[in-house]
Amino acid sequence: MYLDVIITLLKIAIVFGFVLNVAAILSWAERKQSAVMQDRIGANRADVLGFRIFGLFHPIADTIKMLTKEDWVPPAGDAFVHTLAPFLALFTALVVFAVIPFGDTLHIAGRDIPLQIADLNVGILFIVAFGGLGFYSVVLAGWSSENKYSLLGSIRAAAQLISYELALGLSIVGIVMAYGSIELDDIARGQGQYVLGVIPYWGIVAQPLGFILFFTAAMAETKRVPFDLPESESEIIGYFTEYSGMKFGAFWMGEFIEVISVAGVVTALYFGGWQIPFLSNQGVFIPGLFTIPLPHLLVVLLQVSAFGLKVLFFCWFMLLVRWTLPRFRYDQLMAFGWKFMVPLALVNIAVTGLIKYVF
Amino acid sequence: MENLFFYIAAILAVASAGSVILQRKVMYSVLSLIVALLAVAWMYAMLSAPFLAVVQVILYAGAIMVLFLFVVMMLKYEKTEIQRFRPGLLWCMGLLVAVFFLMKLIYVINRASSLTPQVATLPPDFGSIKSLGGVLYTQYLLPVELTGILLLVAVVGVALLSGIKK
């Protein structure tokens, strides 16, 4: 009983430790990546005793700066809701990780430990539900600031989030049909099969169109370029204009955590989760040829690190997209969501159903 | 342990529902209603109906309350607004609702106190998406399809009202 509680707490600590650290590093990586892509040197000024290590002290310097800044609440605004909004932003971004499986079942000392914080039998719907609640942080932030520009920014954000949530939900239906389960660990396990004996049956193989739709819609949900109309940090004003100090920091980190959670969900659904091609639970496995047995602990360790690496890859990929594409115009954004993504997602469901029916 | 969680959820639901009608600011009423809906979803999850719980969060807390929030956000709430209603009429309606609710409450409590609690044995897949989908698409196929048509009509209506260019 107590051991179960300790194991669960340990899993939470590992997952959230990973997520929060990667989020901090992403704030550095984003600046460094943009610098490299724009032929600049980039963030490298923060130094401790003359050491700069590629500017890796910048996240720490940022944190100190934001924690010590004045915490300003607009006097005309609503202080309670104004404080609530950044907490909601962090909560809804973090809670998604509770259902993402980061490894197969670990057998150790006679116990079976599923490497997933909460194995809910509603799985993906949990992500949709709590991802959807992220909407409130945006809208409440804009409203409680008592600032017309903030309010307009939050309305833009709300319209965008609602529009793309539809495409997001519909694109997930395809993957649920392909693997016949709505639980994330079942989907990840299902991706360990092989097509024609050689191609790993990952989500991207089963649902290529679904992957593109999901990834695009999920990127729109993170509110980053090319979908950054809600904030538009470079010229028009967004919903967290009236925030300062660590409350602004919470929105800022919440955005990076959202990036990691999108990367985590995309990995779990479309890129095999923890699966490594040709590595089964028994060891290296080439279908029909040979098997090299490996110890169980090593296999699990390899799979968990594979999951971490895939997540990091998608985080990096989203930074790449963010510094490559220009922003959509607002009407283009809406038309793209409603007239392109939603019909395509519906077609995807129909085609998936047809293929499932024929085979 | 389960009792403890149930009572936390129940107290949260009742307290936030009370807060919906007691708050002076409309925005706080809306937020309280969201908390109440989430607390009810929590209870669904404890009553082995996880799908219902998640749908409650997605549809009620996530979609319908969004509408409420939008309206509250767009309308600037003034103290004078409430004086435009006729206070006497408001009292009258309030009393009517309160009496009706009290009668209902007494009826429910009366019925519940005469029942003895029993431990029901549920089939293993009770409340799962598979079993629910199976029932909806076989036994209740006609109502499901009719509801679908109703929603389609609503969608078409919205598209028409929002002014598609001719």
Domain boundaries, chain A: 70-358
Of B27, B54, B63, Cβ closest to residue A122: B54
Sign of CA dihedral A140, A144, A150, A155: positive
DSSP annotation of A78 reads -
A/B interface, count of CB pairs below 8 Å: 50
Q: Which ipTM value was assigned to this complex?
A: 0.85
pLDDT at B39: 94
pLDDT at A311 over 60: yes
Query: How do beta strands A194-195 and A199-200 pair?
Result: antiparallel
pLDDT at B166 over 60: no
CA atoms within 13 A on the CB side of A318: 30
pLDDT at B104: 94
Name the closest residue on chain B to residue A156, using Cα atoms. Answer: B70
Of A120, A133, A155, Cβ closest to residue B61: A133
**pLDDT band with cut points at 50, 70 and 90 for residue A128:** confident
pLDDT at B164 over 70: no
Among A55-59, A335-339, B32-36, B118-122, top mean pLDDT goes to B32-36
**pLDDT band with cut points at 50, 70 and 90 for residue B163:** confident
Probe site for chain B from A124, A136, A155, A221 (most B CB atoms < 10 A): A136
Paired residues of A106 in beta bridges? A113
pLDDT at B62: 84
In this predicted structure, which of A223-237, A266-280, B31-45 has the lowest mean pLDDT?
A223-237
Taking the Cβ of residue B66 and every Cβ of chain A, the question of whether any pair is shorter than 8 Å is answered with yes
pLDDT at B145 over 90: yes
CA distance B16 to chain A (A): 16
Q: What is the rounded distance in angstroms from the CA atom of residue B143 to the CA atom of residue B145? A: 5
**pLDDT band with cut points at 50, 70 and 90 for residue A117:** confident
Q: How many residues does chain B have?
A: 166
In this predicted structure, which of A89-103, B40-54, B72-86 has the lowest mean pLDDT?
B72-86
Taking the Cβ of residue A236 and every Cβ of chain B, the question of whether any pair is shorter than 8 Å is answered with no
Taking the Cβ of residue A162 and every Cβ of chain B, the question of whether any pair is shorter than 8 Å is answered with yes
**pLDDT band with cut points at 50, 70 and 90 for residue B82:** low
**pLDDT band with cut points at 50, 70 and 90 for residue A213:** very high
User: For residue A95, what is the enclosing H or E element?
Assistant: helix A79-95
User: For residue A16, what is the enclosing H or E element?
Assistant: helix A2-37
Taking the Cβ of residue A132 and every Cβ of chain B, the question of whether any pair is shorter than 8 Å is answered with yes
Q: Which residue has the higher pLDDT, B46 or A42?
A: B46
Q: Residue A106: what are its φ and ψ, rounded to 5°?
A: -100, 120
Interfacial B residues in 83-142 facing A (CB < 8 Å): 128-129
Q: What is the rounded distance in angstroms from the CA atom of residue A209 to the CA atom of residue A175? A: 10
pLDDT at A57: 86
Nearest 5°: the CA angle A319, A320, A324 is: 120
**pLDDT band with cut points at 50, 70 and 90 for residue B26:** confident
pLDDT at B121: 79
Taking the Cβ of residue B59 and every Cβ of chain A, the question of whether any pair is shorter than 8 Å is answered with no
Contact B73 A81 (CB under 8 A): no
CA distance A151 to chain B (A): 8
CA distance B126 to chain A (A): 11
A99, A11 Cβ separation under 8 angstroms: no
Q: In percent, how much of chain B has pLDDT > 70?
A: 92
Tell me the mean pLDDT in the region B95-121.
87
pLDDT at B79 over 80: no
CA distance B60 to chain A (A): 10
CA distance A5 to chain B (A): 14
Residues of B in contact with A121 (CB under 8 A): 50, 128-129
What's the burial of A303, exposed, middle or buried (CB within 10 Å: 0-12/13-18/19+)? buried
Structure token pair of residue A160:
């965008």
pLDDT at A350: 94
**pLDDT band with cut points at 50, 70 and 90 for residue A104:** confident
Contact A136 B69 (CB under 8 A): yes
Q: What is the DSSP string of A146-169?
A: T-HHHHHHHHHHHHHHHHHHHHHH
In this predicted structure, which of A280-289, B76-85, B102-111 has the lowest mean pLDDT?
B76-85
Residues of B in contact with A135 (CB under 8 A): 62, 66
Task: Tell me if residue A51 falls in helix, strand or coil.
Answer: strand
pLDDT at A288 over 90: no
Q: How far is C-alpha A161 from the chain's CA centre?
A: 15
Taking the Cβ of residue B58 and every Cβ of chain A, the question of whether any pair is shorter than 8 Å is answered with yes
Probe site for chain B from A120, A130, A133, A183 (most B CB atoms < 10 A): A133
Q: Which residue has the higher pLDDT, B78 or B63?
A: B63
State the SS3 of chain B.
Answer: CHHHHHHHHHHHHHHHHHHHHHCCCHHHHHHHHHHHHHHHHHHHHHCCCHHHHHHHHHHHHHHHHHHHHHHHHHCCCCCCHHHHCCHHHHHHHHHHHHHHHHHHHHHHHHHHHHCCCCCCCCCCCCCCHHHHHHHHHHCCHHHHHHHHHHHHHHHHHHHHHCCCCC
Q: What single letter denotes the amino acid at residue B96? A: L
Q: What is the rounded distance in angstroms from the CA atom of residue A157 to the CA atom of residue B10? A: 34
pLDDT at B87 over 80: no
Probe site for chain A from B38, B129, B132 (most A CB atoms < 10 A): B129
Which residues neighbour B141 within 8 Å (Cβ) at sequence distance 6 or greater? none
Q: In percent, how much of chain A has pLDDT > 70?
A: 98
Tell me the mean pLDDT in the region A150-172.
88
Probe site for chain A from B24, B57, B64 (most A CB atoms < 10 A): B57
Q: In percent, how much of chain A has pLDDT > 90?
A: 31
**pLDDT band with cut points at 50, 70 and 90 for residue B19:** very high
pLDDT at B141: 94
Could you report how far apart the first and last alpha carbons of chain A are, in Å? 46
Task: Tell me if residue A228 falls in helix, strand or coil.
Answer: coil
CA distance A326 to chain B (A): 29
pLDDT at A133 over 90: no
Of B50, B69, B70, Cβ closest to residue A122: B50
Taking the Cβ of residue B46 and every Cβ of chain A, the question of whether any pair is shorter than 8 Å is answered with no
